[in-house]
Structure formats: structure tokens, C-alpha cells
Amino acid sequence: MRDPVIGIDLGTTNSAVATVEGGQPRLIPSRAGGRLTPSVVGLTPRTAERVVGVPAQTLAEEHPDCVVWATKRFIGRRFTPELLQSARAVVPYPLMGGTTGDVRVKMAGRTVPVTQVAAMILGELKLDAEAYFGREVSQCVITVPANFDDGQRQATREAAAIAGLDVLRLINEPTAAALAYGLSRGFEGHALVFDLGGGTFDVTVLEVTDGVYEVKATGGDPALGGEDFDLRIVDWLLAQVEEPFREQVHRDVTSMHKLKVAAEQAKRELSEYEETLISLGGLGDHSQPTRKFTGLETALTRSFFEQLCEALSKRCLAVCESVMRDARMEPSRVDAVLLVGGMTRVPFIRRLVSDFFGKAASTEVNPDEAVALGAAIHSDELTSQAGAALLLDVVGNSLGVGVLGGKVRRLIARNRSVPVVAKELFHPGSHNQKEARIPIYQGESDLQDENRKLGELVLRNLQAGSRADTPLEVTFELSNEGILAVRAVDLQTGLSEQVRVEARPHLPAPEADRLVKEQAAYSQKQAQVDARKSEDKFRKLLERGEKLARLLQHSAEENPGEQNETAAANVRSLLDTGRVALESQDAARCAQVARELSHLLAGRQA
């Protein structure tokens, strides 16, 4: 039996895990029974016990200072004053810098690396998959936004390693969504993926032909997502709080969390109705011993919500226009538009898409599930080597070398196909220079200050002489996963240096080792709890199966026929297999029988 492989969508708002069974991708339910896991993590106030997903959302109602969410926006980033300032407008919890400059969050009085938060979510998805299969699961494909840089991708890999996962490949979220869409419908032509998630916005144009998925252009806004639309409602609600209380509410974590939850609920309701009522109480300063609170009663219409978000809508359109220019295509040439991300359920977003491209977007794929399903398809492709699909992706951000005058000379342009190797000759900045520093930048500007510096390669022991007589060949090599290697060679002497560019600081090795051990201990303890629950659940499932077997047997006796007799025999055989597996403590076999029996029972009820 081949080891199970999974596809993971590690999202800003929700995360999901999927697999391929019988040639079809399917979502793996959480152990709590849901299809999606909220990307929310908390630590309980007294015991610092971790909670992930819905339990963390519940904890936030009473202890919002013990919970963090939307941390994907900060993974793999370097802690800077600019990042701190921008974060304050998006999330209420404090951000802090680690010893190596990594980003950390504070919850329940503890400082936690953002990478560890991601690992906690990934670990929970891993446990869901292991409960589903009844065996250990380690191999996976994880999706990332198309505009994630090398640092963010490597931080995602580091989080997966802490969670005990072996990442076969990272693939871009829009490409994964198109993969699910294409294989499920046999689509060929130009497809555009409009991916508006909780924290990021990506647009990708692909050409699908005979199982080849060739990305033509990709672009996005890394600071635009559902969270920003929610904040428009939060700001509007805050403006309606009575003046004596407004500043208190703005400073109070509990009150602001109430506004955030109300905003999310209002946004969802406005996708179904033209108007929603918002009623809130307990707004004020919860830290004061003498508490005085106020409330808020208001109504929000769909049309006014659209006005509040007009500037955000324009940013969405600007990205679409930019990507179509890069693809050298008119919007009308797009054959199908695939919506991805929960925000694409909002009516005015769908209207915006249909107006721009001149056609209604596809609604045949669940926008919350498409990315995970595509990741599962690709993970199955990689392990089975079936060769049904070939992914040809592109560079999400231009890459270049800093030169004299504060400029950047571009070696790899955005939207160039990957993998790619680019070479160019440079010379030292002055005569008799004994070492050359080669700064590496990412971004679309010609100016260094307007781009992001990824790192620096230093070539030492140059032969002193005229700069014109010291040619330096710089080579950029970018992998399928957007991982950059840079090499510099002094062509006169053959002296060379090479570096794998790291755009972020790693966690300190001792801390990373400690987190791996903590996660392993948590997973082992939780797996034992899950095993007991699974056994109890399986026994009850066998009881339901027994009732179905008697019903089918009775039906076969009243209406003799090969079909009825076969159906009864199949269920009886499945039950016998299940009992043997239960007695021998074969968890994997029990899980397989449970999946088959659940499918039969669900079909019978339908």
C-alpha cells in the first residue's frame, strides 16, 4: 500500500487539507467534522495549552489577547518599523522582533515565532489526515501565494519541518486552483485565476493544453485580502460609537474583537441579503476595575458596503489590468475565469470580474476548496509519476543586481518562465578593488531604495588592477519553487563564490530544535487521544452498518435479485473486515473501512 500524500492550502483565514482517492481529489474533514480549519491559534490563559481552529475562535470571545490570526501576512518577513506600523492597521495583537530579526507575535503573555504559529496549523492538518487514514502522514505539497518571495517560501518549508511534514514541492495557489479546475472539467484554453483570499490577492493567466499548464503572467497585491474589507466595516462601526467611549473602544482588544467578528458576520450576510442588522453590547475599556460599557445598534446595506470598499475594488481592477498587459492579452480572450478565496463569494466582486472580462466567472469549483484540491492532485502526480499534468510556472517578482548610482540591473524579469538561468557581466566599482560586493534585489523599480534587498554575495581576493580588466560573471538560477541561487566568477582568475539567497533570518538552531520536539510531543499525545475517539466512533459506525446490512438482507429476501443480494453481501463483508481490523488494532484498515462504510451510509440516506 502506497503511503498517503496530501495537499495543503495554508490560508490566511482558513486552511484545508485534501488527498486523491480513486483518481478524484477530495477534502479531508477535520477531526471536529468541518471541511475547513480556521487559521486561528491560541494559548489558554492559565495552562498555555494550544488550541487551533474553531476552539481558538471560541477562546477569542473571552480572551482575545490569547489568540492570533492572519499571521500568514508576516511569515518569512523581517521585523522592521515599517512592518510594525502597517501591521497595527490590520491586527490588534502585538508584533515583536526575534533575536535574528524574525517576526513574532504575543499571545497569552508569551512571545511566539510566526513560523511556529504556521507549524501549529500545519500540525493540526497533519493530525486530521492521520486520523482519516489511520496511519502516519508526512509527504505533502503546500501552496503559497504567487507573489511570495524566497524568504516567505523558505519560512513555509521551515514551518512544515517543525510540524513533521516532508514538503515535496511548494506550488503557487492560483496554479493549484487551475489544476483542480482543469482536471475536473477537461478544460483547454486560456484560464484566469482570480484569487482573493483573506490576506493576499493574486491574478494568474494560464494556457491549458493537453495537460500542460503554462502560466502566461501572474501578479498581485500582497497587502489586499478579505481582512482589509472587514476593516472597512470595523472603521465604519467604530465611527458610530458614542464619542465618550470611542477612544476606549479603539484601545480595547476585547471591544475591537467584537467589532471584527460583527464585521465578518455582516459581510457574509450581505452576500445573501441586501441589508443586515448589527447589534453589539459590552463596548468599552475591559481593563478598568470600574467598567462602563456602551452598545451599538445599526444597519448596513449591501450598496453602502460596496461604497466603503470602492478603493479596494479599484486595487483589484488595477492588478487585473497589469496582469493582462503582461500576458499581452485582451480580457475578452480569457476563456474561463476561476474564482478562488472566500471574498469571491461577495456579489460586487463577482460583478467586478464579469464586467472586466465580459463573462460570468465559473462557480463549479468551491472557491474555499479549489487550492487544496489542486495541491492534492499535484502531490498525487509527484508520487505516482502519472504524468497527467505538467506545470510551467513563471517568476513572480523581478530579480537583479544593485549597481552604481543606486540603480538595479535586472537579470530575471517578472513573468519569465521557471526554472531559469540568467548570466551577465559586471565590473568592480573602482580600480584596484580587492573585493566586490554584489547586492541582490527583488522588485519592479529601477531604484534600489524602492526594491527589497534579498541578500549580498561577496567575492574576495580580486587581483588589483583596472576595473575594466576584471570581468565578473554573475549567474542567477531560479528553481521551479522560486528558490534563488547566485554565483559570481572572476573570469580573469577563475575565483568564484556561490550563495543560496536567504531573504529572511532562520530561527536560531537551538530554538528550531526545541520547537520540533515540542510539536512532536504534542502530536504524539494528541494522536493517542484521537485514536481512542476514532475507535469509539468506529464501533458506532459498525452498529449503523449492521442496521444497514439487516435492511439490505430483508430487501434481498423480499425482492430476490443479483443486485440486492450483492449489495447485502458487500456490506456484510465490509463489516466482517472492520471487526477483524478492530480486534487486531489495525488503525489503517479501520480507517479504510470507515471511509467506505460512511460512503455507503451517506448514499443510502441520499
Number of Cβ within a 10 Å radius of residue 331 = 18
Per residue, the 3-state secondary structure of 536-569, as one string, reads HHHHHHHHHHHHHHHHHHHHHHHCCCHHHHHHHH
195 is catalytic: yes
Cα–Cα dist 381/387, whole Å: 6
Q: Among candidates 540, 591, 592, 542, which has minimal Cα distance to 571? A: 542
Q: Which of 72, 126, 216, 260 is catalytic?
A: 72
CB 492 within 8 A of CB 436: no
Which residues, at least 6 apart from 523, have a Cβ–Cβ distance to it below 8 Å?
Answer: 123, 126, 127, 164
Q: 172: which residues sit within 8 A by CB, 6+ positions away?
A: 143, 144, 145, 146, 148, 202, 204, 215, 218, 393, 396
What mean pLDDT is predicted for residues 557-564?
74
Longest dimension (CA), the chain: 100
User: Active-site residue 536, yes or no?
Assistant: no
Q: Count H helices and E strands in the chain, helices first.
A: 15, 27
pLDDT score at 258? 92
Question: What would the pLDDT profile of 381-418 be if each residue is shown by its tens digit?
Answer: 888 876 556 777 788 789 999 998 899 999 999 888 88
CB 305 within 8 A of CB 278: no
| Catalytic pick among 124, 150, 195, 380 | 195
Among residues 596, 466, 448, the alpha carbon closest in space to that of 22 is found at 596
Task: Tell me how far CA of residue 194 lies from CA of 18, 292, 349, 449, in angstroms.
Answer: 21, 46, 10, 30
Reply yes or no on whether the pLDDT at 91 is more than 80.
yes
Query: What local confidence, expressed as pLDDT, does residue 606 receive?
Result: 39
Residues in the chain: 606
Q: Which helix (H) or strand (E) holds 520?
A: helix 509-558
Asked if residues 396 and 414 have their Cβ atoms less than 8 Å apart, the reply is yes
Q: What is the pLDDT of residues 566-589, one digit of tens each?
A: 777 888 888 888 889 888 888 888
What are the distances in angstroms from CA 213 to CA 265, 268, 302, 324, 389? 37, 33, 38, 17, 7
C-alpha neighbours within 13 Å on the C-beta side of residue 16: 25
* Alpha carbons 249 and 241: distance in angstroms, whole number: 8
To the nearest whole percent, how much of the chain has pLDDT over 90?
48
Q: Which of 173, 227, 380, 381 is catalytic?
A: 173
Q: Are 126 and 164 in contact (CB under 8 A)?
A: yes
Confidence (pLDDT) at 467: 67
H or E segment and range at residue 267? helix 253-270
Q: CA–CA distance from 404 to each of 430, 446, 450, 457 (Å)?
A: 10, 12, 15, 16
Q: What is the pLDDT of residues 353-381, one digit of tens each?
A: 999 999 999 877 889 999 999 999 999 98
Cα separation of the two ends of the chain: 31
Residue 392: exposure state from Cβ atoms within 10 A (0-12, 13-18, ≥19): middle
Q: Which pTM does this prediction carry?
A: 0.83
Structure confidence at residue 502 as a pLDDT band (50, 70, 90): low
Q: Which amino acid makes up residue 188? A: E
Q: Is 285 a catalytic residue?
A: no
pLDDT tens string 185-226: 677 889 999 999 888 898 999 998 877 888 899 888 888 999
CA angle 100, 102, 106 (to 5 degrees): 120
Look up residue 157 and give its amino acid: R
Active site residue 130: no
DSSP state of 508: P
Strand partners, 301: 275
Per-residue model confidence (pLDDT) at position 389 = 64
Partner residues linked to 202 by β-bridges: 195, 220
DSSP string, 306-358: HHHTHHHHHHHHHHHHHHHHHHT--GGG--EEEEESGGGGSHHHHHHHHHHHT
